[in-house]
Structure 1
């Protein structure tokens, strides 16, 4: 029969692949952090009356999100904005006087939205909330709009989502600003505003596990890594049992 020393040695050997499997899971799941985004992230330049959602995930383990402050671009202003109701939250819309009026189908617009602030509600850890806005006419003189956002937590922490997103091949900043890509009319792009309206109608906070396909994929791969690690430990243990029985006979 094997001695206790031999058993300990065998257990240590089994622990190595298990540890490596756990490390692989962390490497896979680690990068799947969520950011504040605009949903959908693409629309046609010059389009009007489309609904978008600012999706705000809670990345804190202990504090709730209690305020969301979204700043609209004033260099490429949006003609108007209607805020959708969100249960438990109150919205405040701020406007700015434009030096050059926006020409729309309904005539010139001299004031544009500069900021929308949501307060009064909370997003608990592990959850996200969609804040929907019906945009008026989108600008035609820009390819991308940035919506710099301040996210305030119940413990006083403020996360500033204000960094310019990375260009193709560049390193992603830690806190990129939510962006909306604008494409030329007739390019075949779709805004997906119908799906956002369906989501907005509920006005409910949703668990962050559903916030994006990338997060789901990371969790699936992480689960596979755990399963592989556990299977390796089990198979190794069974092999030791067989070996032990063989030596005993």
Structure 2
């Protein structure tokens, strides 16, 4: 019991420094991927009222999951190079997703999900930038580490997804 109580401050410190992250930070290049953005806190104690996801280049056919109590919107852009998706010629794709109109209190945690096809670029890291709007203020999780820099050193890192060679990634 004493040991558990001694660890309690560490748990609160970890929660206070939590970032928006992907539940599964590694996936096979070229695979279908279920992305789950984990939101662990609001902005300086204020509840989260909206999230805006900026989709990295090369991610195809992104489909966000609706969330009860939140309004879902997508923004599409024309592609310079159309691609084939199971026999369908795709010439525009999702570039941004927004969930808004809900309220996620600072004391609670939630997840925002999507599906997409990942680019065939083993060894690459994709960065999913997220803008978190709150009742008071906002946090832009958009920092991308420079070569050799640790993302943990950044104040507001974008959620990272490491692409592995097929069969090399972790599977459940």
1:85 counterpart = 2:66: yes
Per-residue deviation, 1:188:
4.6
Partner of 1:46: 30
Per-residue deviation, 1:179:
1.3
For 1:67, which of 50, 58, 61 is the aligned residue? Answer: 50
Aligned mates of 1:30, 1:162 — CA distance in 2: 22
Aligned residue-pair number: 164
The verdict on how the C-alpha distance between 1:179 and 1:106 changes in structure 2, with shifts beyond 3 A counting, is farther
Per-residue deviation, 1:28:
7.8
Partner of 2:163: 182
Partner of 1:160: 140
TM, length-normalised to structure 2: 0.82
Write the deviation string for residues 68-126 of structure 1: whole angstroms up to 9, x where unpaired.
0010012xx22212221212111101111111123433343211210000101011012
More helix by share: 1
Aligned mates of 2:56, 2:44 — CA distance in 1: 31
TM, length-normalised to structure 1: 0.59
- State whether residues 70 and 150 of structure 1, in contact with CA within 8 Å, keep that contact through their aligned partners in structure 2: yes
Partner of 2:3: none
The verdict on how the C-alpha distance between 1:29 and 1:169 changes in structure 2, with shifts beyond 3 A counting, is farther
- State whether residues 36 and 177 of structure 1, in contact with CA within 8 Å, keep that contact through their aligned partners in structure 2: yes
2:153 counterpart SS class: coil
Aligned mates of 1:124, 1:87 — CA distance in 2: 15
More strand by share: 2
Q: Structure 1: 5+ residue runs without aligned partners?
A: 1-21, 193-249
- State whether residues 35 and 114 of structure 2, in contact with CA within 8 Å, keep that contact through their aligned partners in structure 1: yes
Of 65-74 and 77-86, deviating more is: 77-86
**For the aligned residues, what is the CA RMSD?**
2.5
Q: How does 1:1-249 map to 2 (within 5 A)?
A: 30-32=13-15, 33-48=17-32, 50-60=33-43, 62-74=45-57, 77-135=58-116, 137-141=117-121, 143-155=124-136, 157-165=137-145, 170=150, 172-190=153-171, 192=172
Aligned mates of 2:51, 2:77 — CA distance in 1: 19
